[in-house]
A and B are shown apart, each in its own frame.
Chain A
Amino acid sequence: MSDHKTMTLTLIVWRQKNANDPGKFETYTAKNITEHHSFLEMLDCVNEDLIIAGKEPIVFDHDCREGICGMCSQVINGLPHGGQERTTVCQLHMRKFKDGDTIYIEPWRSRAFPIQKDLVCDRSAYDTIIQAGGYTSCHTGGVPDANSTLIPKEVLDYAMDAAECIGCGACAAACPNSSAMLFTSAKVAQLSALPQGKAEASARVQAMLTAMEDCGFGNCSNHYECQAACPKGINVKFIAKLNREYQKSLFK
């Protein structure tokens, strides 16, 4: 791994002082970037230059920088997380770009995710959806032995595929309807597949769907943009599962 080549890039970045500011694009130059820089490290470098120059650095959400916390959230060249398959912004590396490239960087765009500053938005709507029913109502203590209910591997794997969701919001940001269906369905599918979650399955799916609508998310019209943008590869089959669970709940 040698770092001989460096890149110079033009960044066109959404700047917005606060929720009330209309916001606008500003242009910056990123210099001396190597292929081993992560996308966020590239932005760190730009920010260091801005601070020294007495300008306000670009504000963006990030935390674990290893693709699991779901904090980072940027639309890069029109694609949430930048379009590399199963990759969050923090795991996107500059080797995917070429010297001289122009890169557009925007925040999530969704009515339910109001922008707070620059690339930072408020995603508490996702928490609201989970609070509506994204759990099993077990108490701390007083639960049966973990092996008392057998769960075949296929069922477990299905639940785990859904449970991998990191709640980043890319699915809603990618959806032309700004729908949170993929996010909501991942939790519905996980819990309704497992024996522990079946008791509350009907109430859960109804409560979570109502919360989703109340939060201002749109509905699903099968564009599958969510699946394409999802950094964890959550499959749209879970939306079908949600729809089945919802229909079942209507006949209860």
Chain B
Amino acid sequence: MILDGKCPTGPIETSWDKHRFDLKLVNPANKRKYNIIMVGTGLAGGAAAASLGELGYNVQAFCYQDSPRRAHSIAAQGGINAAKNYPSDGDSILRLMYDTIKGGDFRAREADVWRLSQVSNNIIDQCVAQGVPFNRDYAGYLDNRSFGGAQVSRTFYSRGQTGQQLLLGAYSALSRQIKAGTVQMYTRREMLDLVVVDGVARGITVRNMVTGQIECYAADAVCLATGGYVNVFYLSTNAKGCSVTANWAAAKKGAFFANPCYTQIHPTCIPQAGEYQSKLTLMSESLRNDGRIWVPKNKADIAKPVSQLPEDARDYYLERKYPSYGNLAPRDISSRSAKEACDEGRGVGPGGRGVYLDFADSIKRLGENTIKERYGNLFEMYERITDENGYKVPMRIYPAPHYAMGGLWVDYNLMSNIPGLFVLGEANFSVHGANRLGASALMQGLADGYFVIPYTIGGYLVTVKPGSVKTDHPEFKKSMEEVSGRNKKFLNIKGKRTVTEFHRDLGKVMWNNVGMARSKESLTEALKEIPKIREEFWQNVKVSGSDSEINQQLENAGRVADFLEFGELLTRDALHREESCGGHFRVEHQMPDGEAMRNDEDFSYVGAWEYKGNDKVPELHKEPLKFETIHLAVRSYK
């Protein structure tokens, strides 16, 4: 099937304005008759629930944490992009769009990216009105810094905790609506199934994580703002509770999964210290504004103290290879370069899996106080984890899975191919193409939540009669039975290995075979290994306790079972995409100098997969990508 993104036509500059005008409106008096389910309360879900509640809809919001304030958006450190052009350094909506399309290696939809860039400016205004403390200068004006993949300073930030401050802004708006009664908040609920009646999304089934009760909720539209799936690699920068479960449940009910192979490996994370490790910690990309990345020129020098390595014994490889962007080269390029340096035997630290991020020059130039002011909390965090002082010795960093550009397929209105199912933020695939630029995730989450879904969902709701399906419909009963049946099954296997062991096994296969460098051989091997792990999981996993209480093993078992199915889809997508683009690097497809080589003739499309049942090959649907404003070009940061 050829998919249609239903993007507006005509000049890009007026596309969103025109589309907004064309969308039908819901009469204010009718809005309260519509129920909307919002799953996830991060930047996208929290902002959307608050905005929809304020418009007058009845919103039921769900999150797995004990409070909507804890969604993983909170961990974003560096900043949020916007085309304000406050520094007058040449920025514009068009430039932000250009950088995002190019940064995504020409694998995103132009119309969606234009809209994102256009509303980016509204986001900054909105957050400031909420009391988000973005950094300012002494005169009181907002300050900006630079991020990877951009030659302008367009990133707004709140020290090293921008995600936290933006999320608390959205959470405060959400709290106001909860108080007003327009949003009903359900915490410690994990969505385990999507209920589809006659091809239309009508509700969800969740597990109450405190009582163990399986509950179902009906609505006129269901929105998933359920984040990304890179915990499929086991070790990642995501929170432990991040999973593909909600999205995978939707996929199994017919929602297409787009570009799952586009995963982002973030270049600046603290290297793994041991087998027992439960997660990897990100150090904000903003550090690359002032930190210089290097490894020793010679393998023989890797164990030497840094003080014994003079300038000419060091290889500042990003500055050498990409002089115009230097240490601010995009994430995929920086990560791959670090891997290359380590593969050549020039990596530092345990196992040779690390590169230096060195602040000595900046400290000399600006003083330790300025560096402390800019990144103090990051240096503290680094020291807590590694016991090393980053002001005195260079930090050691290594790439780690961080973000999913792929996600459920949506059209321009953020609606999936299942009518009534909307997907927001990281959970959808829409704007980052094959690689996301730094400080753009927060921008997308809030754009979708505050400024896109409140308009587009109305266009759908006017076409449906409110409250036409209730939870007494047989599909809800069936869904609840399936969900509790699966939970009972986990408990009854009574095998010999823990859920975490299986997750680690899967993670190793994914990281080694489907990580930063993928090949036909490695992917084919993964396609053999993953089903083996899955099979063993269903025979030999051990989940203790019962399903009628708090049971974290049971929660995890569900998530890992889904990763064991989804990992195969991700691998299959990577195998089918015979090109290198952004975060998807196939060793067979590279330029003579090792840069990614796209194949625009054959792969300039969104690959959206339709689930056909376990152990069955999913069906690929394509949405061709057209580039009319930004012309297809080789992505160069040299």
In the assembled complex, A101 has its CB within 8 A of some CB on chain B: no
User: B79-112 CB contact bits vs A (8 Å, 1 = yes)?
Assistant: 0000010100000000000000000000000000
Interface residues of B in 596-623 (CB under 8 A from A): none
User: A47-81 CB contact bits vs B (8 Å, 1 = yes)?
Assistant: 01001101111010111111111110000000000
**B401 shortest CB reach to chain A, Å:** 15
Residues of A within 8 A of B408 (CB): none
* Contact call B67/A141, Cβ cutoff below 8 A: no
Interface residues of A in 214-249 (CB under 8 A from B): none
Docked Cα-Cα span, A135 to B178, in Å, equals 12
Interface residues of A in 121-155 (CB under 8 A from B): 122-124, 126-127, 130-132, 134-141, 143-147, 149-153
Residues of B within 8 A of A197 (CB): 131
* Contact call A57/B544, Cβ cutoff below 8 A: yes
Return the contact of A37 from the options B51, B66, B122, B276 (Cβ within 8 A): B276
* Contact call A91/B385, Cβ cutoff below 8 A: yes
* Contact call B140/A63, Cβ cutoff below 8 A: no
Stretch from A7-15, A171-179, A188-196 forming part of the interface with B: A188-196
Residue with the highest number of chain A CB atoms closer than 10 Å, among B47, B178, B496: B178
Residues of A within 8 A of B279 (CB): 65-66
Docked Cα-Cα span, A93 to B136, in Å, equals 34
* Contact call A153/B168, Cβ cutoff below 8 A: no
* Contact call A64/B75, Cβ cutoff below 8 A: yes
Residues of A within 8 A of B122 (CB): 141
In the assembled complex, B387 has its CB within 8 A of some CB on chain A: yes
In the assembled complex, B165 has its CB within 8 A of some CB on chain A: yes
Name the residue of chain A whose CB is nearest to the CB of B165: A163
In the assembled complex, B241 has its CB within 8 A of some CB on chain A: yes
Residues of B within 8 A of A134 (CB): 172, 175
In the assembled complex, B69 has its CB within 8 A of some CB on chain A: yes
Residues of A within 8 A of B386 (CB): 1
**A201 shortest CB reach to chain B, Å:** 11
In the assembled complex, B587 has its CB within 8 A of some CB on chain A: no
Interface residues of B in 105-154 (CB under 8 A from A): 122, 124-131, 133-142
* Contact call B278/A126, Cβ cutoff below 8 A: no
* Contact call B70/A71, Cβ cutoff below 8 A: yes
Docked Cα-Cα span, A86 to B498, in Å, equals 33
Given A52-B542, A68-B74, A93-B384, also A140-B454 (CB < 8 A) = yes
Residues of B within 8 A of A86 (CB): 380
Name the residue of chain B whose CB is nearest to the CB of A35: B387
* Contact call A150/B140, Cβ cutoff below 8 A: yes
Interface size, chain A (Cβ < 8 Å): 79
In the assembled complex, B451 has its CB within 8 A of some CB on chain A: yes
Given A93-B385, A143-B125, also A41-B278 (CB < 8 A) = yes
Stretch from B320-328, B546-554, B566-574 forming part of the interface with A: B546-554
Name the residue of chain B whose CB is nearest to the CB of A18: B549
* Contact call A131/B278, Cβ cutoff below 8 A: no
In the assembled complex, B27 has its CB within 8 A of some CB on chain A: no
Name the residue of chain A whose CB is nearest to the CB of B388: A1
* Contact call A194/B70, Cβ cutoff below 8 A: no
In the assembled complex, B10 has its CB within 8 A of some CB on chain A: no
* Contact call A196/B128, Cβ cutoff below 8 A: yes
In the assembled complex, B409 has its CB within 8 A of some CB on chain A: no
Given A18-B549, A44-B276, A138-B130, also A51-B240 (CB < 8 A) = no
In the assembled complex, B164 has its CB within 8 A of some CB on chain A: yes
User: B557-598 CB contact bits vs A (8 Å, 1 = yes)?
Assistant: 000000000000000000000000000000000000000000
* Contact call A116/B210, Cβ cutoff below 8 A: yes
Return the contact of B142 from the options A56, A127, A146 (Cβ within 8 A): A146
In the assembled complex, A159 has its CB within 8 A of some CB on chain B: yes
Docked Cα-Cα span, A66 to B86, in Å, equals 32
In the assembled complex, B58 has its CB within 8 A of some CB on chain A: no
* Contact call A145/B125, Cβ cutoff below 8 A: yes
In the assembled complex, A109 has its CB within 8 A of some CB on chain B: no
In the assembled complex, A164 has its CB within 8 A of some CB on chain B: yes
Residues of A within 8 A of B72 (CB): 63-64, 69
Name the residue of chain A whose CB is nearest to the CB of B50: A140
* Contact call A44/B69, Cβ cutoff below 8 A: no
A sample of 25 cross-chain residue pairs with beta-carbon separation below 8 angstroms, ordered by A number, consists of A38-B278, A41-B277, A55-B544, A63-B239, A63-B240, A64-B72, A64-B74, A69-B72, A71-B70, A93-B387, A124-B66, A124-B67, A131-B179, A136-B131, A139-B54, A141-B122, A146-B125, A146-B142, A150-B136, A150-B140, A152-B138, A153-B137, A163-B158, A164-B164, A196-B130
The 7 A-B pairs with the shortest beta carbon distances in the complex, nearest first, are: A150-B140, A135-B172, A143-B129, A138-B129, A140-B51, A146-B128, A36-B273
Chain B residues in the interface with A (C-beta under 8 A): 47, 50-51, 54, 65-72, 74-75, 84, 86, 122, 124-131, 133-142, 158-159, 161, 163-165, 168, 171-173, 175-176, 178-179, 185, 187, 210, 237, 239-241, 273-274, 276-279, 281-282, 349-350, 380-381, 384-387, 450-451, 454, 496, 498, 500-501, 542, 544-545, 549-550, 552-553
Q: A45-B276, A64-B75, A127-B69 are known contacts; what are 15 more A-B pairs with Cβ within 8 Å?
A: A41-B277, A48-B500, A61-B66, A65-B239, A65-B281, A70-B70, A71-B70, A93-B384, A135-B131, A140-B51, A143-B125, A143-B126, A146-B134, A151-B136, A190-B131
Chain A residues in the interface with B (C-beta under 8 A): 1, 3, 17-18, 34-38, 40-41, 44-45, 48, 51-52, 54-57, 59, 61-71, 84, 86-87, 91, 93, 95, 116-117, 120, 122-124, 126-127, 130-132, 134-141, 143-147, 149-153, 156, 159-160, 163-164, 166-167, 190-191, 194, 196-197
